Amino acid sequence: DGGITQSPKYLFRKEGQNVTLSCEQNLNHDAMYWYRQDPGQGLRLIYYSQIVNDFQKGDIAEGYSVSREKKESFPLTVTSAQKNPTAFYLCASSISGLGANNEQFFGPGTRLTVL
């Protein structure tokens, strides 16, 4: 089946620890995205990547880092510098470029709780 997988579904970490969230897609999409979702705030863009080995900061990149070494994978690291990391994290992908109608496909999400 084609789609986007995120793991783990639930993640608990102690304050001050870095943690990496996994996102994999087999849709052959060029673009991938990380969003953070908090209650009542909709989705906010953390980072996105339009092509392998390149990525751009979104609206709330501070305290996060990403890599895009492979087309299929776009892991997100939540660092100890992120002041309020407890949230629901969603990964998405899309066909990139003009005329691609930019529909994004979403993974099931990872709920991160920092204790």
Partner 1 sequence: AQSVTQLDSHVSVSEGTPVLLRCNYSSSYSPSLFWYVQHPNKGLQLLLKYTSAATLVKGINGFEAEFKKSETSFHLTKPSAHMSDAAEYFCVVSEEGNTDKLIFGTGTRLQVFP
Which residues from 69-98 bind partner 1, rule CB under 8 A? 88, 90, 92, 94, 96-98
DSSP 30: S
Q: In what order do the strands lie in the sheet with 4-7?
A: 4-7, 19-25, 76-78, 64-66
Q: Which of 22, 50, 65, 67 binds partner 1 (CB under 8 A)?
A: 50
Within 1-115, where are the H helices? none
Q: How many residues contact partner 1, by CB under 8 A?
A: 31
48 interacts with partner 1 by CB under 8 A: yes
Residue with tokens 């996994």: 22
Check binding of 109 to partner 1 (CB under 8 A).
yes
Q: What is the DSSP letter of 3?
A: -
What is the distance between the alpha carbons of residues 108 and 111, in angstroms, rounded to a whole number? 10
State the nearest-atom distance from the C-beta of 102 to partner 1, in Å.
Answer: 5
The residue ranges that bind partner 1 (CB under 8 A) are 4, 6, 31, 35, 40-45, 48, 50, 58, 88, 90, 92, 94, 96-98, 100-109, 111
